[in-house]
């Protein structure tokens, strides 16, 4: 269990984080809702458009306030406006205004204001007041007046009831609608003569943006339609509003012939169009009849205020502030055009499942593949979420929450990257520790290897060799063994591969060579023994190319064997160069059964120089970036005034080891010339 937890701790933490995020989405507190609203608003901003409308707004604007004075106006003004409207035969007329008190210029209000004795102003009392005139005009028109839900009673309240009759199927809509204990409306005499009462209640929003509203609400346990729905009902001469329910709640609300799919609480999401000034007409112009005769024909007319001082302004998802009356205009248009937005409960489930799947994919891949590739997966998932959201909005008018899934995926990806960072830090630290250990081992191996190279300084007058490793441990090797005062065994070898393993293989070969030469065997027998011992050592896939030789400095006779190595260079005092190619395969590959399988050659070194090197010399880079090559070796020798084994080797080494950050390969070179065979005595 402990091992399991250590191995999968990051996955367990991820699942806990994901569970917390999904739980938050299910609980859906206000701050989570505000995240979702970001995408809902973005859809509308991207796709909002201007279009012709069947709704006209009579605007109580600054111009009309200047004409009629401060608000509220005399009811005769509204009566005159209704007279003007009725000449054009509009579909319905809605007042987004309350008439909660009697008109200040009614006879009874004048008597009350001036403390007049009723008997003295009997004729005044016989006059028809503005409220009566307005009430008669309301009765003659297809009018709707606003009502508003309230949590406190109004002093002018009465036991009002809706004009619309509600018919339900599948349950009682009162169980699912938003409810207010009281309502605020207009004078009873006015409400009695209108064709409809429409709610203008908005749901409280944290940010004050009106995105949705209930099509039906309860005031004092009675159902009322929203202003927009009531306008459509009256405009279509319908008495009833039909409510269809299922086991979850309200499913559909209808005012024939229009049907609206709502959420279980009877709420619809408003699809806003861009504001159009041509949709507005000043109340003063309507009063004066300054409009074309067909301007209001078959239109839904809303009367409301845009004037700053009347405080009827609201914010919309489009990022603009509009008069509240325009919200109801958009609702009417949504119902008529069936362009309202849908927030389907099934879509909510899809969002949760999709978020979980995408989060899982993002996290798992962030743990499995390289960060640059997981970054592509992350952005691909974000793009997929955005494309799906915009596609469903554009072609199905459904609201899909992009913001929260993007938030989940982003947090998941960052969590995955964090765990990946921690894991790779651990691996990097472990690798650093391994590298430090290997470096120590290589340094130790390099030290051991250096001790294997012989000290041939006393022979340097006639035999000189040098090894410059490209890395810590060299795969090249040379050795010189003096078997008698006149005879010397030597070898120069190159092990296949590099690093510690090559160094170990080289060490084995050198130890065998030194052991056999000390036994004063013939050169052929020495090579025979070295080969077979290397074959038995079973260093898989490794072999050695080498030049072995036995030199008699007295006679000048040199017996040598080239086992798969670079061509041997010889030249005379006139610098006539000759290359002796290998006529044997490398050693350590195939076992020799008899010494006759070892082929040797003999030359005399009197008045000749013998040079042998590894491929690190011919393939080494010069300062100009070119390889030295065999011709380069000749060129170095041609440029020498005094040709000695030491000068040859050190000149070649100097040409190749010019200060590059890394050598291409080990540089190993040996030169033999017996013109001066005097041994050099070591200084004490």
pLDDT at 112: 63
For residues 550 and 558, the answer to whether their CB atoms sit within 8 Å is: yes
C-alpha dihedral sign at 457, 474, 616, 487: positive
Residue partners of 315: CB distance under 8 A and separation at least 6: 207, 208, 209, 210, 321
The more confident residue out of 322 and 469 is 322
> Could you write out the three-class secondary structure of 443-468?
HHHHHHHHHHCCCCHHHCCCEEEEEE
For residues 187 and 181, the answer to whether their CB atoms sit within 8 Å is: no
Tokens of 66: 């200047």
Lowest mean pLDDT among 193-197, 218-222, 285-289, 520-524: 520-524
pLDDT at 124: 52
Buried b (16+ CB within 10 A) or exposed e, 434-460: eeeeeeeebeebbeebeeebbebeebb
Lowest mean pLDDT among 144-148, 366-370, 669-673: 366-370
For residues 367 and 10, the answer to whether their CB atoms sit within 8 Å is: yes
| Entry pTM | 0.66
pLDDT tens sequence across 326-352: 999 999 999 999 999 988 888 888 888
pLDDT tens sequence across 242-263: 999 999 999 999 999 999 999 9
What band does 156 get if pLDDT is binned at 50, 70 and 90? low
pLDDT at 152: 87
Q: How far is CA 360 from CA 25, 355, 449, 551, in A?
A: 17, 8, 54, 75
pLDDT at 121: 55
Q: How far is CA 581 from CA 315, 442, 565, 566, 628, in A?
A: 93, 34, 8, 7, 19
What band does 42 get if pLDDT is binned at 50, 70 and 90? very high
The more confident residue out of 488 and 428 is 488
What band does 684 get if pLDDT is binned at 50, 70 and 90? low
Of the chain, the end-to-end C-alpha distance in Å amounts to 70
pLDDT at 498 over 80: no
Residue 234 has phi, psi (to 5 degrees) of -65, -40
pLDDT at 447 over 70: no
Rounded Cα gap, residues 526 and 519, in angstroms: 9
Residue partners of 51: CB distance under 8 A and separation at least 6: 273
pLDDT at 5 over 60: no
pLDDT at 51: 85
What band does 375 get if pLDDT is binned at 50, 70 and 90? confident
For residues 145 and 99, the answer to whether their CB atoms sit within 8 Å is: yes
pLDDT at 502: 74
Going by their DSSP bridges, the two strands 240-245 and 165-169 should be labelled as parallel
pLDDT tens sequence across 506-558: 888 888 998 899 888 899 999 999 999 888 876 777 889 999 999 999 999 99
pLDDT tens sequence across 379-405: 888 999 999 999 999 999 999 999 999
Rounded Cα gap, residues 465 and 482, in angstroms: 15
Rounded Cα gap, residues 391 and 397, in angstroms: 9
pLDDT at 503 over 80: no
User: Which of these, 366, 368, 351, 352, lies nearest to 411 by C-alpha position?
Assistant: 366
Average pLDDT, the chain: 88
Residue partners of 625: CB distance under 8 A and separation at least 6: none
pLDDT at 565 over 90: yes
């Amino acid at each position: 269990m402990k091992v399991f937890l250590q191995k999968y701790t990051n996955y367990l933490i991820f699942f806990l984080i994901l569970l917390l995020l999904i739980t938050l989405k299910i609980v859906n507190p206000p701050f989570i809702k505000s995240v979702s609203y970001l995408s809902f608003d973005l859809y509308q901003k991207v796709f909002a458009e201007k279009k012709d409308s069947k709704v006209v707004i009579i605007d109580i604007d600054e111009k009309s306030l200047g004409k009629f004075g401060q608000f509220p106006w005399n009811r005769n003004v509204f009566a005159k406006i209704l007279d003007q409207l009725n000449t054009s035969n509009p579909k319905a007329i809605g007042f987004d205004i309350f008439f909660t008190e009697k008109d200040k210029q009614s006879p009874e209000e004048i008597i009350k204001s001036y403390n007049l004795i009723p008997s003295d102003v009997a004729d005044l009392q016989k006059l028809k007041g503005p409220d009566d005139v307005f009430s008669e005009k309301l009765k003659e028109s297809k009018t709707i007046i606003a009502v508003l839900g309230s949590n406190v009673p109004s002093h002018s309240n009465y036991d009002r009831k809706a004009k619309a009759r509600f018919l339900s199927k599948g349950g009682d809509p009162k169980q699912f609608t938003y409810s207010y204990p009281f309502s605020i409306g207009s004078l009873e005499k006015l409400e009695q003569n209108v064709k409809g009462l429409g709610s203008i209640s908005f749901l409280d929003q944290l940010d004050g943006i009106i995105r949705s509203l209930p099509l039906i609400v309860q005031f004092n346990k009675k159902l009322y339609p929203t202003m927009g729905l009531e306008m459509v009902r009256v405009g279509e001469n319908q008495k009833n509003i039909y409510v269809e329910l299922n086991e979850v709640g309200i499913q559909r609300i209808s005012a024939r012939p229009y049907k609206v799919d709502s959420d279980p609480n009877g709420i619809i999401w408003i699809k806003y169009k861009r504001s159009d000034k041509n949709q507005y007409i000043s109340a003063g112009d309507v009063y004066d009849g300054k409009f074309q005769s067909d301007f209001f024909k078959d239109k839904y007319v809303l009367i409301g205020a845009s004037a700053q001082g009347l405080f009827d302004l609201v914010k919309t998802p489009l990022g603009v502030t509009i008069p509240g009356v325009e919200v109801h205009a958009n609702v009417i248009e949504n119902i008529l055009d069936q362009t309202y937005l849908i927030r389907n409960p099934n879509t909510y489930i899809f969002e949760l499942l999709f978020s979980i799947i995408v989060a899982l994919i993002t996290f798992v891949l962030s743990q499995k593949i390289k960060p640059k590739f997981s970054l592509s997966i992350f952005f691909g998932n974000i793009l997929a979420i955005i494309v799906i959201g915009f596609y469903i909005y554009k072609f199905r008018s459904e609201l899909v929450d992009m913001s929260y899934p993007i938030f989940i995926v982003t947090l998941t990806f960052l969590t995955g990257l964090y765990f990946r960072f921690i894991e790779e830090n651990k691996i990097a630290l472990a690798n650093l520790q391994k590298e430090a250990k290997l470096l120590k081992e290589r340094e130790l191996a390099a030290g051991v290897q250096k001790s294997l190279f012989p000290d041939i300084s006393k022979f340097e007058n006639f035999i000189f060799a040098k090894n410059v490793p490209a890395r810590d441990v060299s795969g090249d090797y040379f050795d010189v063994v003096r078997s008698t005062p006149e005879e010397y065994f030597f070898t120069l070898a190159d092990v296949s591969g590099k690093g510690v393993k090559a160094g170990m293989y080289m060490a084995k070969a050198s130890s065998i060579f030194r052991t056999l030469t000390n036994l004063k065997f013939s050169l052929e027998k020495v090579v025979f023994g070295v080969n077979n011992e290397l074959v038995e050592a079973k260093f898989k896939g490794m072999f050695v190319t080498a030049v072995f030789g036995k030199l008699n400095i007295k006679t000048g006779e040199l017996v040598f064997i080239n086992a798969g190595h670079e061509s041997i260079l010889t030249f005379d005092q006139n610098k006539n160069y000759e290359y002796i190619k290998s006529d044997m395969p490398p050693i350590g590959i195939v076992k020799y059964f008899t010494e006759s399988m070892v082929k040797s050659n003999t030359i005399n070194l009197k008045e000749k120089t013998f040079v042998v090197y590894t491929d690190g010399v011919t393939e080494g880079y010069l300062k100009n970036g070119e390889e030295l090559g065999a011709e380069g070796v000749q060129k170095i020798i041609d440029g020498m005034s005094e040709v000695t084994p030491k000068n040859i080797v050190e000149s070649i080494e100097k040409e190749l080891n010019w200060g590059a950050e890394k050598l291409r390969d080990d540089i190993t070179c040996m030169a033999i010339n017996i013109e001066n065979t005097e041994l050099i005595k070591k200084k004490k």
